[in-house]
C-alpha cells in the first residue's frame, strides 16, 4: 500500500525558534499533499494544501507567514513553523493522495514548544 | 459549509460485543465518504464508500453508505482490545479534484477485556 513518512516523529524546541517537518511519499508521486494539525482529543483540522511547483493554499485562520510550506518535488513537502510559541504545540500530520479521494497519512510529528 | 458529524462521541463496551458507529454528513457535491482508525499516531485508512447500499467488508469491520439519508455506519463485530481507537469519518469537499477532507470529531471506542 501507499506509504507516507514524516520526519522527525517528535521535536521539542524553545520558544522563538523555527522547526522544519518533512513529509515524503515513499512509493508514489503526489502533486498535492496536505498538512493537518490535531490538538489533544480533537479531530484533524486542515491547515494548508501543498502544491508541487506552486504556492500552498492555506485554510482560513492559518497564518501563511508562520507556517511556511515548500513542495520541492513530487515526493517531498516541508512545513516550517517559524518563531514557534507554546500554543503551536500540537500533533502535525501530513497526507498525500495517490489517486482520487484516497488519502494516506504520515505517522505525524509531535511538536512541543517550551 | 460542509459538515461531518459522528456519534456517539465515545463508547465503552466489553470484548466480544458488536458496535455500530455513525457518521452523518452535509457536503456540497458529495462523491465519497472515508473511514479511518486512529490509535496513537496518524489515521490509517479503512474504507472508502461511494455507492449507496453496497457494504464494504474487511474482516470484522464493515461499512455502508446511505446517500439518500446522508449517513454511513461502521460496524465492528466480536470486538477485541486492539479495536480500541478513535474512528474518524471524512468527506472530500467541493467538486471533483478537490481533495480537501472535512473530518468528523471522531468516536473514541474503548474495549474492556
Helix (H, G, I), strand (E, B) or coil at A86: helix
Cell of B60: 470484522
Question: Residues B62-73: what's their mean pLDDT?
Answer: 94
Question: Residues B17-32: what's their mean pLDDT?
Answer: 92
Burial of B104 (0-12, 13-18, 19+ CB in 10 A): buried
What confidence tens digit (pLDDT) does each residue in A46-102 have? 999 988 888 899 999 999 999 999 988 889 999 999 999 999 999 999 998 776 667
Q: CB contact, 8 Å: B51 with chain A?
A: no
CA distance A32 to chain B (A): 9
Which is it for strands B107-112 and B10-14: parallel, antiparallel or unpaired? parallel
Q: What is the pLDDT at residue B27?
A: 87
Report CB contact under 8 Å: A43, B31. no
Q: What is the pLDDT at residue B40?
A: 79
In this structure, is the dihedral angle defined by the CA atoms of residues A57, A60, A64 and A67, taken in order, positive or negative?
Answer: negative
Of the residues A38, A44, A95, A97, the best mutation for testing chain B's interface (the one with the most B CB atoms within 10 Å of its CB) is A44
Residue numbers in B near A46 (CB within 8 A): 100-102
At residue A112, does pLDDT exceed 60? Answer: yes
Using CA atoms, how far apart are residues B7 and B57, in angstroms rounded to an integer? 21
CA distance A48 to chain B (A): 9
Q: CB contact, 8 Å: B105 with chain A?
A: yes
Give the phi and the psi of residue B31 in degrees, each rounded to 5.
-140, -20
Burial of A82 (0-12, 13-18, 19+ CB in 10 A): middle
At residue B96, does pLDDT exceed 60? Answer: no
Q: What is the pLDDT at residue B94?
A: 63
- Locate the chain B residue with the closest alpha carbon to A58: B100
Burial A32-46 (b: 16+ CB within 10 A, else e): bbbbbbbeeeebbeb
Res. A4 pLDDT band, cuts 50 70 90: very high
Q: Where are the beta strands (DSSP E) in chain B?
A: 3-7, 10-14, 19-26, 33-38, 44-49, 56-58, 61-66, 71-76, 85-92, 101-103, 107-112
Which is it for strands A76-81 and B10-14: parallel, antiparallel or unpaired? unpaired
Mean pLDDT for all residues in chain B: 91
Burial of B72 (0-12, 13-18, 19+ CB in 10 A): buried
Residue numbers in A near B31 (CB within 8 A): 101
Q: Determine the length of chain A.
A: 114
Q: CB contact, 8 Å: A40 with chain B?
A: no
Amino acid at each position: 500500500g501507499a506509504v507516507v513518512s514524516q520526519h522527525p516523529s517528535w521535536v521539542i524546541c524553545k520558544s522563538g525558534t523555527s522547526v522544519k517537518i518533512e513529509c515524503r511519499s515513499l512509493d508514489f508521486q503526489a502533486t498535492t499533499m496536505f498538512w493537518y494539525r490535531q490538538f489533544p482529543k480533537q479531530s484533524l483540522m486542515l491547515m494548508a494544501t501543498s502544491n508541487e511547483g506552486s504556492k500552498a493554499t492555506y485554510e482560513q485562520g492559518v497564518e501563511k507567514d508562520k507556517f511556511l510550506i515548500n513542495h520541492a518535488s513530487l515526493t517531498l513537502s516541508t512545513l516550517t513553523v517559524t518563531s514557534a510559541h507554546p500554543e503551536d504545540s500540537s500533533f502535525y500530520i501530513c497526507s498525500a493522495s495517490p489517486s482520487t479521494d484516497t488519502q494516506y497519512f504520515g505517522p505525524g510529528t509531535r511538536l512541543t514548544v517550551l | 459549509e460542509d459538515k461531518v458529524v459522528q456519534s456517539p462521541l465515545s463508547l465503552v463496551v466489553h470484548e466480544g460485543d458488536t458496535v455500530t458507529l455513525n457518521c452523518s454528513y452535509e457536503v456540497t457535491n458529495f462523491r465519497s465518504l472515508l473511514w479511518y482508525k486512529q490509535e496513537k499516531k496518524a489515521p490509517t485508512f479503512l474504507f472508502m464508500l461511494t455507492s449507496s447500499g453496497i457494504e464494504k467488508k474487511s474482516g470484522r469491520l464493515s461499512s455502508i453508505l446511505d446517500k439518500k439519508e446522508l449517513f454511513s455506519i461502521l460496524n465492528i463485530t466480536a470486538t477485541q482490545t486492539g479495536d480500541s481507537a478513535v474512528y474518524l469519518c471524512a468527506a472530500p469537499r467541493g467538486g471533483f479534484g478537490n481533495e480537501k477532507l472535512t473530518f468528523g470529531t471522531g468516536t473514541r471506542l474503548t474495549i474492556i477485556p
